Structure 1
Amino acid sequence: MRPLISIIIPTFNRDHLIIDTIISIMNQSYNNWECIVVDDGSSDFTEKEVNELIAIDRRIFYYKRPQNREKGANACRNFGYEMSKGDYINFFDSDDLMHADKLDLQMTMLEKDQADFNVCQTLVFSGEEHTVGELRFPFLKSDDPLNDFLAHKIKWLTQAPLIKKQSLNKFNLKFNEKLQQSQEFEFIGRMLYHQLSYSIIEKPLVYLRKHDDSITYGKVTSPKIISSFNARYYFVNDRNSALSLNARSSLCKELIALYTTALKNRKSFKRQDLANMYERLRNELSSNKEKELLWCLKISFKYLDRGECFKVRLQAMQ
């Protein structure tokens, strides 16, 4: 028998979408899988809808996030991982769809090349026709995966990789439950930091649904801005020795942009959060000129409600 694959899906109030997602899994040409749905506290008919599918296919399991776990998709993913029995893991979202041969094609490749994970292309769609759209990120291949990923030269989302569970366990790789945005960026970045090897299938095997309430395309909030900032700061600060100059430059420019966005919307932020972002960013700037520009950026938005010129000049120095 071929290896068991655990598909882990966090969900919240997606009863109108999750059924299509699970059906795309039930239609897989690869048969040895389990689908673990972890509910983050839905108030709709998600539980009822999923249980109706469980009655048809016992490979599907439904859990509710334990009350003592952090609310959010990341805690749901981690809990689902703890419940999983598979040798391989595919994290997935409750509004997206799988190509019917996704699991089979990726497992066949992994059985052949013995990489830690395999990644495929992702097609973005809106409306009813999921096979028509555009590639989310065209480039997946790199000779320097960590730095190219951090600099956005290559990219993929959580749904795309099929990952060897043993490789995740080796480095205790889990999702950061404190993050509300950029958790995929941070998680995959840590995978590449630990030099997990990967192979590629240059074919769209994931169909990413684009809508206002999607995990990928949802609204931006202050906790999400802070999370995006913290995810990038982790690599600049804690993993700096592994970064190329280009990757560090790209991350610093993003930190400056995120801090500027926070300043523009400062009424939505706690004063301490803005202060923490300022101090962290200041500590990563190497010259007094850069620190002066950062101070000017902060003061300009505080008193004049503008300061884009300082952001542009500061980014140009990175």
Structure 2
Amino acid sequence: MKSIVTIVMATYNRSHFILETLSSIQSQIYSEWECLIIDDGATDNTLEVISPVLDTDSRFKFLKRPDQYKKGLPGCRNYGIDIAKGDYIIFFDDDDIVHPQNLELCVTELDKNRASFCRYQRKVFFNEFDYNFDHSKKYTSFKIDVNDIGRILKNELPFNSCAVMWKKECFNENRFVEHLMFAEEWELYSRIVSAGIEGISINKCLFYGRKHSNSNTGEFYAHNPIRRASQADAVILVVQNLKEKQLLSASLIKYFITFSIGFKEYDLFNRVLNVLNLSIFSNLKWSLFYQSYPLRRPIYKIKKRLKK
């Protein structure tokens, strides 16, 4: 029998986008999938809009998030993980477009390689989507393991929430942290990879994220305090995890200290230092680094321009 893929899709008031997303899922070349549409308490007519799809394609299931799962994307996804029947799990958003080869190529890679996840490339689009897909199956790939944790956390090797297919076993000991309202996948995915779980990345775009102001990312960059507070909390969880696993390099410490400069309202710098529990000398060194950064920043910008 073919492997079954469980698609977990949290939805909240996306009646104007979700049909196009579901259509792109129905267009998948690989057909052995179930799609769990987890309603997070929508107040629009989403159910009415998608009812014709639910009535004609039994692979789609519309479910209400139970109260034991916290409201929000992480709670919906955890519910989907807990009831998934698939051998593989993938998370899709309710306003994006999926390449028709997405499931096919990911399953092929996971079936033939000793990998626990398959990462692929993702692009973004605005307004109308251009359906001129590249159907080539020729692409390069590379291995991802714990040695890449720094690149993942620094976003040099992006791990977007909808750009990875996972073997279900990756979630045996791992779930989304439900109080996080932003950077929840950054925290979880880095935690999975830091545990020694290995995967493969293929150099082909298989997912297209719709950009609009009402998305979580759009709200974060609009300085939404809930999203920003969540990012700060996610940093603390990541630092705690890396410290426990003895994976905190000097480069990563510098990265998190520098990152904390943009989150002064959440006292992120002192929270990071408290987790690190460094010597008095090291604390003094990083405090000086933190306080002098505004003076050094113009020099960094000049150096960056010169490199270009």
Quick one: distance in 1 between partners of 2:171 and 2:225? Answer: 30
Quick one: distance in 2 between partners of 1:13 and 1:51? Answer: 15
Among 209, 222, 227, which residue is 2:225 paired with?
222
- Against the structure 1 CA distance between its residues 292 and 120, is the aligned structure 2 distance closer, same or farther, given a 3 Å change threshold? closer
- Against the structure 1 CA distance between its residues 213 and 63, is the aligned structure 2 distance closer, same or farther, given a 3 Å change threshold? same
Quick one: distance in 1 between partners of 2:251 and 2:143? Answer: 17
Q: Secondary structure of 1:176's match?
A: coil
- Tell me, yes or no, if structure 1 residue 9 matches structure 2 residue 20: no
- Tell me, yes or no, if structure 1 residue 194 matches structure 2 residue 199: no
Size of the alignment, in residue pairs?
Answer: 283
Contact 2:36–2:80 (Cα < 8 Å) also in 1: yes
The letter for the 2-side match of 1:207 is: Y
Q: CA deviation at 1:129?
A: 2.5
What are the superposed Cα offsets for residues 95-143 of structure 1, whole Å, 9 maximum, x if unpaired? 111101110011011111120010111011112124589xxxxx98667
- Against the structure 1 CA distance between its residues 68 and 216, is the aligned structure 2 distance closer, same or farther, given a 3 Å change threshold? same
Q: CA deviation at 1:308?
A: 7.9
Quick one: distance in 2 between partners of 1:160 and 1:182? Answer: 14
Contact 2:98–2:206 (Cα < 8 Å) also in 1: yes
Q: Secondary structure of 2:41's match?
A: coil
Quick one: distance in 2 between partners of 1:181 and 1:67? Answer: 21
Quick one: distance in 2 between partners of 1:140 and 1:179? Answer: 30
In the alignment, what sits opposite 2:262? 257
Contact 1:110–1:117 (Cα < 8 Å) also in 2: yes
The letter for the 2-side match of 1:239 is: L
What are the superposed Cα offsets for residues 30-56 of structure 1, whole Å, 9 maximum, x if unpaired? 010000000111110111122221101
Contact 1:5–1:88 (Cα < 8 Å) also in 2: yes
- Tell me, yes or no, if structure 1 residue 233 matches structure 2 residue 218: no
Q: CA deviation at 1:220?
A: 3.0
Q: CA deviation at 1:205?
A: 0.4
- Structure with greater contact order relative to length (CA < 8 Å, sep ≥ 6): 2
- Against the structure 1 CA distance between its residues 255 and 188, is the aligned structure 2 distance closer, same or farther, given a 3 Å change threshold? same
Quote the sequence identity (%). Answer: 30
Could you list the runs of 5+ residues in structure 2 that have no partner in the other structure? 134-140, 301-308
What are the superposed Cα offsets for residues 82-101 of structure 1, whole Å, 9 maximum, x if unpaired? 12111100011111111011
Contact 2:160–2:185 (Cα < 8 Å) also in 1: yes
Contact 2:21–2:94 (Cα < 8 Å) also in 1: yes
Could you list the runs of 5+ residues in structure 1 that have no partner in the other structure? 134-138, 263-273, 298-306
Quick one: distance in 2 between partners of 1:289 and 1:114? Answer: 43
Quick one: distance in 2 between partners of 1:287 and 1:68? Answer: 41
Map of 1:205-220 to 2, 5 A cutoff? Answer: 205-218=206-219, 219-220=222-223
Deviates more, 1:158-167 or 1:208-217: 208-217
Q: CA deviation at 1:237?
A: 3.2
Contact 2:143–2:198 (Cα < 8 Å) also in 1: no
The letter for the 1-side match of 2:214 is: D
RMSD: 2.6
What are the superposed Cα offsets for residues 239-275 of structure 1, whole Å, 9 maximum, x if unpaired? 222122222221221122222xx3xxxxxxxxxxx46
- Against the structure 1 CA distance between its residues 21 and 282, is the aligned structure 2 distance closer, same or farther, given a 3 Å change threshold? same
Map of 1:65-214 to 2, 5 A cutoff? Answer: 65-130=65-130, 144-169=147-172, 172-214=173-215
In the alignment, what sits opposite 1:301? none
In the alignment, what sits opposite 2:29? 29
In the alignment, what sits opposite 1:287? 283
In the alignment, what sits opposite 1:309? 294
Deviates more, 1:4-13 or 1:229-238: 229-238
Quick one: distance in 1 between partners of 2:254 and 2:269? Answer: 17
Quick one: distance in 1 between partners of 2:296 and 2:132? Answer: 38
TM-score by length of 2: 0.83
Quick one: distance in 2 between partners of 1:211 and 1:33? Answer: 28
Quick one: distance in 2 between partners of 1:194 and 1:89? Answer: 18
In the alignment, what sits opposite 2:136? none
The letter for the 1-side match of 2:258 is: K
Q: Secondary structure of 1:44's match?
A: coil
Contact 1:233–1:255 (Cα < 8 Å) also in 2: no
Quick one: distance in 2 between partners of 1:87 and 1:253? Answer: 40
- Against the structure 1 CA distance between its residues 220 and 311, is the aligned structure 2 distance closer, same or farther, given a 3 Å change threshold? farther
